[in-house]
């Protein structure tokens, strides 16, 4: 089961010549989920050769221009294509008004259904086959949500020697046991999957956190993330200005990852435009001191998310 993330843009506030605005695309078994879409999002989608048509749902963190101004272009792009399924858009209050006003003022002809759902309380917003995506509250100058994709646990590892010892013939019955089903043998005996499987293994988790102050509850929400994409907008020297603007520093993002427990990789995102490319190292160094498995995300960076075992 393939799961991977593509960073479409890593900048905060305004796009720069080599840094587009914050947006992450998650691909799970060919299905695409977009998190935010600032200016230029469709350029990265095109350069990565991803088919935006496969986007099932878009999740918007909050109604600031640097997170939503790419959406009208993406919807325009979509006006001509064949598409059977609706496109879902989730976000805080005003997302529906924003989409509707753009469609109307730009006379967008879109030949498929767009379903916009405003999130009014934290909890699951998308239930997929074997996974869900839920929203959790962040603290910013406007209502803002973080998101987490969580997969259900998988059946434990299959032990062929135990199946053989129980007299289960190799073949389709092994597959059934592997899938967690019980099987009946020719002699009438029933073998339960628990007799041949190890304990259930955890599914994967992806979390997306921007824009926000740092506060302890975020750690609880992102606990166990295989990949945590989190705002790291400023260096520690600018911590008080970060608080004032309701943003966080790279070191605070690392603190969240470290406190959460079980986070495998932290990808910093939403850099202040004050940092030129070479200055981003300051953010990385400060974060790595607290959480060594930190990386600086860059536009069009690809993160495969593998199973732990």
List interacting residues with Zn ion (CB under 5 A): 12, 64, 66, 211
Which lies closer to Zn ion via its Cβ, residue 22 or residue 78? 22
Which lies closer to Zn ion via its Cβ, residue 73 or residue 156? 73
Which lies closer to Zn ion via its Cβ, residue 211 or residue 299? 211
Burial 115-129 (b: 16+ CB within 10 A, else e): ebeebeeeeebbebe
CB atoms within 10 A of CB 190: 9
Which lies closer to Zn ion via its Cβ, residue 49 or residue 240? 240
Is 129 annotated as catalytic? no
Task: Determine which one of 36, 66, 211, 226 is catalytic.
Answer: 66
Min dist CB 67 to Zn ion, Å, is: 6
Which lies closer to Zn ion via its Cβ, residue 125 or residue 248? 248
CA distance 218 to 139: 10
Min dist CB 78 to Zn ion, Å, is: 24
Please say whether the beta carbons of 150 and 131 come within 8 A.
Answer: yes
Q: Quick one: how far is CA 21 from the chain centroid?
A: 16
Min dist CB 8 to Zn ion, Å, is: 14
| Position with the least CB separation from Zn ion | 64
Min dist CB 22 to Zn ion, Å, is: 6
Min dist CB 163 to Zn ion, Å, is: 53
CA distance 195 to 202: 19
Min dist CB 16 to Zn ion, Å, is: 14
Q: How far is residue 261 from each of residues 11, 31, 264, measured CA to CA in Å?
A: 27, 29, 9
Which lies closer to Zn ion via its Cβ, residue 64 or residue 205? 64
* Residues that are catalytic: 66
């Amino acid at each position: 089961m393939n799961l991977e993330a593509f960073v479409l843009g890593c900048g905060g506030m305004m796009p720069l010549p080599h840094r587009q605005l914050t947006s992450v695309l998650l691909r799970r078994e060919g299905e695409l989920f977009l998190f935010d879409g600032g200016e230029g999002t469709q350029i990265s989608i095109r350069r990565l050769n991803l088919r935006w048509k496969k986007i099932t749902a878009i999740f918007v963190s909050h109604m600031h221009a640097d997170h939503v101004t790419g959406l009208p272009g993406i919807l325009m792009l979509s006006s001509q294509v064949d598409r059977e399924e609706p496109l879902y858009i989730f976000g805080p209050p005003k997302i529906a008004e924003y989409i509707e006003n753009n469609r109307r003022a730009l006379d967008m002809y879109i030949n498929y259904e767009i379903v916009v759902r405003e999130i009014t309380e934290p909890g699951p917003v998308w239930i997929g086959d074997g996974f869900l995506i839920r929203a959790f509250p962040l603290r910013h100058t406007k209502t803002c949500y973080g998101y987490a994709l969580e997969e259900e646990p998988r059946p434990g590892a299959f032990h062929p020697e135990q199946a053989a010892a129980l007299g289960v013939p190799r073949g389709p019955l092994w597959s059934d046991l592997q899938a967690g089903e019980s099987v009946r043998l020719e002699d009438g005996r029933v073998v339960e999957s628990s007799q041949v499987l190890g304990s259930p293994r955890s599914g994967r988790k992806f979390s997306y956190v921007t824009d926000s102050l740092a506060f302890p509850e975020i750690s609880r929400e992102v606990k166990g993330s295989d990949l945590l994409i989190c705002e790291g907008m400023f260096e520690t020297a600018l911590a008080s200005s970060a608080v004032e603007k309701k943003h966080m520093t790279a070191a605070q993002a690392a603190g969240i990852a470290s406190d959460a427990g079980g986070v495998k990789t932290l990808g910093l995102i939403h850099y202040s435009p004050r940092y030129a490319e070479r200055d981003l190292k300051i953010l990385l160094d400060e974060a790595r001191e607290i959480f060594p498995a930190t990386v600086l995300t860059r536009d069009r960076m690809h993160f495969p998310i593998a199973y732990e075992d």
